[in-house]
Amino acid sequence: MSFNKQKGKSIAFTELGSRFSEEISRIRGGENIRKCFQCGTCVASCPVRAIDDEYNPRKIIRMAILGMRERVLSSDFIWLCSACYTCHQRCPQEVKITDVMEVLKNLAVKEGYIHPSLIMQAELIGNLGRLYAIEEFDNRRRIKIGLPLVHPKCDEIVQLFEVTGLVKLVYEREKESK
């Protein structure tokens, strides 16, 4: 579910509550979420907002504070944060919005809201050890400028994905979607 699909959707009182923001504030990175007074500094300085005027970190934070757990965690928008830390640097209340977005993403994954882009990236990294295949052309260019060759597959990263359970998580998600 994305915010675009929720546009104009009314908010049921039963959706609201303080438990969600309390939960976020107990997780490292989300401690100051309830200090947000909705000044809009994060929105004004956000490079993603400059490209997509629907993206609104202030709205995401507000919805989290109001306790709109399912809407926030199922939203496409929590995945759009570029982690540039501009809002983090400029927030007068030191909310650390970039860290809050990471907390929200982690909670979303724990609850089964895994964005398709994360699955695609995890599959690529799980199979190749990186986000893209290393071609012979890439290695020839590296040799020309005096850099060492890059091996086509990075087994250590694949092992890390297996140890952390990410491979299993992606596999289960793919199975559910079929």
Give the CATH number for residue 25. Answer: 1.10.1060.10
Q: Taking Cα atoms as reference points, which of 7, 90, 100, 13 lies closest to residue 46?
A: 90
Predicted local distance difference test score (pLDDT) of residue 42: 95
- Domain span at 128: 116-177
CA distance 154 to 160: 10
Looking at the fold, whether 100 and 123 belong to one and the same domain comes out as: no
Predicted local distance difference test score (pLDDT) of residue 139: 83
Predicted local distance difference test score (pLDDT) of residue 60: 96
Looking at the fold, whether 122 and 75 belong to one and the same domain comes out as: no
CA distance 35 to 178: 42
Predicted local distance difference test score (pLDDT) of residue 178: 59
Domain count for the chain: 2
Q: What's the Cα-to-Cα distance from 68 to each of 15, 64, 112, rounded to whole Å? A: 6, 6, 16
Predicted local distance difference test score (pLDDT) of residue 3: 39
Looking at the fold, whether 79 and 136 belong to one and the same domain comes out as: no
CA distance 170 to 96: 29
Looking at the fold, whether 172 and 156 belong to one and the same domain comes out as: yes
The segments of the chain whose pLDDT lies below 70 read 1-15, 152, 171, 173-178
